[in-house]
Each structure stands twice: as C-alpha cells, then as structure tokens.
Amino acid sequence: MGGDAAGPVPMDGHDFAIWEKRVDALVILGQQRGHFTVDGLRRALEDMGEQAFESMTYYERWVTSLNQNLIEAGVYSLEELGTKMEEVKARGDTYGAVQS
C-alpha cells in the first residue's frame, strides 16, 4: 500500500456509529484481557488479502480480525458464534431492534 499510486485524499469524515465504537472498545479490551496482541490483530487483517481493503470498511475488517483472534484464543467457538449470530438476527431487522 505505502508507495502505491492513488487518487486524491478523500476529505469526507463521518461520526463513528455506535457499533464501530463497540468494535474499537472490544479490540482494546480483548487485548487487555490477554487474548491477543496488536500483532495478532494485524496478522488477521493482512490474512484477509488486498480484496478486503477494497470491499470492506475499516471496522468491518476490524470486527473480522477481532473475531478471528478470539476464536483462536478459545474465548468461544465458531459454532457458538454462528448460533449467537442466528439468535441475534432472529430478534429483528435493525441494529437498534436486536440489542438484548
């Protein structure tokens, strides 16, 4: 990435959505709990490949890396995640509606 050609720097900003702030907080706290390091976070980000940097937003990549690291650390299993995600989806259609 560094040194590649690219277009003008986009100056648009946005306020962080609450789900993005929560991802950020979980990444910090997951490290404080000793489940992974910042290098583990980076490694999973890089494993996603260049395509992920085109198709996913910043915090979409982060939540993916967070999940990968927590599963590797044994905090929960892939199966538990899948079950929980189905359960969350069944609660409603919007982020606000599915909070437990």
Partner 1 sequence: MPHDHHDHDHLSPSGHPYRKDNDGQLTYWQTMEIAIRELMVEKGELTPAQIQAQIDAMDARSPANGAAVVARAWTDPEFKQRLLENGSDAAREMGFDIGPMHLVAVENTSDTHNLIVCTLCSCYPRNLLGLPPDWYKTREYRSRAVREPRAVLREFGVELPADMTLRVHDSTADMRYIVLPARPEGTENLTAEDLAKLVTRDSMIGTGLPKAP
Residues that bind partner 1 (CB under 8 A): 1-26, 28-30, 33, 38-39, 41-42, 45, 53, 56-60, 63-64, 66-67, 70, 75-76, 80-81, 84-85, 87-89, 92-100
Rounded CA-CA distance 69/2 in Å is: 25
Is the Cβ of residue 47 or residue 85 nearer to partner 1 in the bound state?
A: 85
CA 60 to chain centre: 5
Is the Cβ of residue 19 or residue 47 nearer to partner 1 in the bound state?
A: 19
Phi and psi torsions of 12, nearest 5°: -65, 140
Taking the complex as a whole, the smallest distance from the CB of residue 49 to partner 1 amounts, in Å, to 14
